[in-house]
């Protein structure tokens, strides 16, 4: 690892399996290089240079072009993960049946890296889990479309018609995804967050009410 700029992250029993996944996805060009576990016991991955957007998000994150790229890139990593033959157990969270692919688990703007408006990597794979494709797509839609009520502190203020159009764009970028199914998974993901011990649980509960109304 000498001479390579790295990122060190929390590790756990799931880390070797996550690194196997990342190795298997390297051919997509959308995943950082995994470098094992350091002497300090933390996971080590190669740093990916570029723009990693954080909240409040810059305007370019909300462009149609960025949204289509998220869908297309997510399709590539999903399809690649389905060929790896990885086990369904041993991940940080239990597999979500019916497990079609290995999902990233946390597809949000702050877990992506961009250069010149081009999506170059999904980062922070420690929440990866075998699940249906919609498990990732639903959360990506919630974060990138964004499927949030008016006044949401981290969302894009947009009328329902625009939210639905943007959801269609994400699904078209992915290819063959059903917007109604993706919306159902968005509700599933956000309701789970609302029922968690997250300090933002009340915010998620309000978002879940909005999602169910769409």
Domain coordinates in residue numbering, the chain: 6-46, 59-213
Query: Is the backbone peptide bond immediately before 146 cis, with ω within 30 degrees of 0?
Result: yes
Of the chain, the percentage scoring pLDDT greater than 90 comes to 98
Residue 52, token pair as written in the block: 């990693």
Q: Is the pLDDT of residue 106 over 70?
A: yes
Give residue-wise pLDDT tens across range 144-172. Answer: 999 999 999 999 999 999 999 999 999 99
Closest by CA to 23, choosing from 15, 33, 14, 36, is 33
Stated pTM of the model: 0.96
Position of tokens 């764009």? 169
Give residue-wise pLDDT tens across range 56-103. Answer: 999 999 999 999 999 999 999 999 999 999 999 999 999 999 999 999
Which pLDDT does position 1 carry in this prediction? 52
Which pLDDT does position 3 carry in this prediction? 64
Give the pLDDT band of residue 4 (cuts 50, 70, 90). Answer: confident
- Give 43's DSSP letter: E
Q: How would CATH label the architecture of 59-213?
A: Alpha-Beta Complex (3.90)
Q: Is the pLDDT of residue 23 over 90?
A: yes
Question: How far is 128 from 43, CA to CA, in rounded Å?
Answer: 14
Question: How far is 11 from 196, CA to CA, in rounded Å?
Answer: 22
Mapped to the 3 state alphabet, what secondary structure does 157-193 carry?
CCCHHHHHHHHHHHHHHHCCCCHHHHHHHHHHHHHHH
CB 199 within 8 A of CB 132: no
């Amino acid at each position: 690892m000498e001479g390579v700029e790295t990122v060190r992250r929390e590790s756990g029993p799931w880390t070797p399996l996550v690194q196997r996944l990342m190795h298997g996805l390297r051919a997509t060009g959308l995943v950082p290089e995994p470098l094992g576990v350091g002497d300090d016991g933390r996971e080590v991955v190669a740093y990916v240079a570029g723009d990693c957007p954080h909240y409040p998000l810059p305007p370019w994150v909300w462009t149609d072009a960025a949204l289509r790229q998220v869908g297309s890139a997510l399709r590539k990593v999903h399809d690649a993960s389905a060929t790896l033959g990885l086990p369904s157990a041993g991940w940080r969270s239990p597999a979500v049946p019916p497990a079609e692919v290995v999902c990233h688990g946390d597809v949000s703007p702050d877990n992506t890296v961009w250069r010149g408006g081009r999506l170059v990597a999904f980062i922070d794979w420690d929440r990866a889990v075998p699940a249906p494709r919609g498990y990732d797509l639903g959360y990506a839609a919630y974060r990138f479309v964004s499927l949030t009520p008016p006044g949401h502190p981290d969302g894009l203020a947009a009328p329902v018609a625009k939210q639905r159009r943007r959801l269609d764009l994400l699904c078209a970028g992915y290819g063959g995804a059903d917007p109604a199914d993706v919306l159902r998974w968005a509700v599933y993901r956000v309701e789970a967050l609302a029922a968690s011990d997250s300090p933002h649980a009340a915010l998620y509960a309000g978002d879940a009410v909005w999602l169910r109304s769409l």
